[in-house]
Amino acid sequence: MAGTIDRRLPLLKPLLWSTVVLGACIWAAYVLAQQVVYNHRVAAEVDRLRQQNELIAAQNDAYVRELAAIESGELKEEDARMNGYALPTEKVFVIRQAPGQ
């Protein structure tokens, strides 16, 4: 069989390479899709954590204001006034309902 050309082999090589390239493209697309999904999840987690941090920062600011009021004595004075206490130089007036009403 000298001089005969095997026609199947030349057609098989491009098909094989096409299959390999197609497989590599599918794999690359799959990896890219995984990264997109992962990045979306991480971004959502970052947003959630930022919201929590803002809430905690607001709570901390309220605590700082409350501690400053306690240290300055304003809170003691406010609490005393709510319980009916007055300074010695102040006049206290008690307002009551008129009889028969």
Look at 55 and 98; give whichever has higher pLDDT: 55
Q: What is the DSSP string of 27-95?
A: HHHHHHHHHHHHHHHHHHHHHHHHHHHHHHHHHHHHHHHHHHHHHHTHHHHHHHHHTT---TT------
pTM above 0.85, yes or no: no
Residue 95, pLDDT score:
81
For the chain, domain boundaries? 8-82
The predicted-structure confidence for 38-49, as pLDDT tens digits, reads as follows 999 999 999 999
CA distances from 84 to 66, 70, 96 (A): 22, 19, 15
Residue 32, pLDDT score:
98
The predicted-structure confidence for 19-76, as pLDDT tens digits, reads as follows 999 999 999 999 999 999 999 999 999 999 999 999 999 999 999 988 887 788 777 7
Integer Cα distance of 56 and 54 in angstroms = 5
